[in-house]
Structure formats: C-alpha cells, structure tokens
Amino acid sequence: MLSPDILLVHGAFHGSWCWEAVIEDLEHLGRTAHVVDLPSAGSPAGLHEDAEAVRHAITAVGRPVAVVAHSYGGFPVTEATAGALNVTRLVFLAAWMLEPGTSISEVADLPPLDADLVPPPADAAELFYGDVDPEVAARAVVRLRPQSARSATDRLRAAGWLTIPSTYVVCDHDKTMPPSLQGEMATRASVVHHLPTSHSPFLAAPGPLAELLHQSTKV
C-alpha cells in the first residue's frame, strides 16, 4: 500500500505553525508532511493568490501527495487541486468544500467588510480552541494574524474534489463552523469521518488526528 506525502494547509488567521504537533506525530507514523503559508493571512492577498501558493507547494513535493485543508484552507485547496496530477486524495478538516462559482461570504451570508484586513476574533481562544490546553491556546492566540477580506469574497474558479477522491472530517463540537454545515458539505465527499473536538483538532487532539490522516490517505 502506497503512503503518499501529506501537504497540510492551514485556515484563516493561522499559519503553517499550527501543524507542528501533527507533523511530529505523522513522522512517528512514518509519513512525510509538508506545509504552506497562505498569503491571505497577514496581507490583502485573496483566494487566487492562496490557490497559487498551494499549487506551487503541490508541484514542489514532486511525488504523490494527499492534501489536507483546515477551515478556510478548503477554499484555495479546492481551486488549486483542479487538474493536479500527483494529488491522490483531498481531506477537508472542518473545511469549506464549495462548488465552483461560489464565495464564502455568500454561503456564510457575511456582512460587507469595510477593511482589507480583518483582525482575529476577540474571543478566538474560545471560538477556535475551546477544548485545547489553556497554555497551548494562549500561545496560539498571540500567533494569529489578520485575514484578507478578499479571501471571503473571491469566487472559486474550479474544484479538484470533482475528480479527486475526498474525505471530510466533521469536528462535532465546533463553535466556528457549525457541525450541521460541515455535514452538508460532507455530502460532496467520498468518505466522512468525525472527531469529537472543537474547530482545532491539530492542537486539541494532534495524535488522533495524525492517526486518522495516516489511515485515510493511504492508497
């Protein structure tokens, strides 16, 4: 059985740092993991610049790779993987899994934004990390960055999940993205799993998450 490399793509306000514990656990399982920093976290860049960054990271792997997207990361991963020949599976972790032509602001019915960058939510510790060790959550909160408003309003131009096998992981106690909404998007996936965590299992349960990714990305 082939174990492709794994590319981990973070969500809004975050950076590749959020995967550190998962990478360590994946390495213990014999897997090779890669990360990418999305331009929209900390700059006005939008969806399409993020998708280009993901596309470049996929190409740089240079061998079969499974792509894991968390939260907003599902948006650029969806666009970037369309036509990607070395992507073996997509994993949407409490992530946006949308149809081409749509935007997050429309689906989530967000109000108009009056700034290029949106600051992290004031209640980020509870919203993102409600079940995370408080010291770990506090260290994560100070690393959050403003998020580009365009990342929510740009429209998807393509969708890799239309042709690439996909897995959706629903986070059952998520306070950021309602599990019911995750369940609706999960109907587009080939396989569905559940984790009994809040929005950030990479900090709340990195070991179980790594094991799930290890098992679900083999081909």
CATH for 5-216 is: 3.40.50.1820
Domain map (residue ranges) of the chain: 5-216
Average pLDDT for 134-144: 98
Specify the pLDDT at position 109.
83
Which of 219, 194, 191 has its CA nearest to residue 209? Answer: 194
pLDDT at 150 over 80: yes
pLDDT at 113 over 80: no
The alpha-helical segments, DSSP class H, found in 94-149 are 104-107, 124-129, 134-141
Specify the pLDDT at position 115.
84
Specify the pLDDT at position 111.
80
Task: Supply the mean pLDDT for the chain.
Answer: 96
Distance CA 93, CA 71 (A): 6
Give the Cα-Cα-Cα angle 66, 68, 70 (nearest 5 degrees): 175
CB 15 within 8 A of CB 76: no
Which residues are bridge partners to 87 per DSSP?
65
**pTM attached to this predicted model:** 0.97
- pLDDT tens string 87-107: 999 999 999 999 999 999 998
Which of 61, 100, 114, 95 has its CA nearest to residue 166? Answer: 95
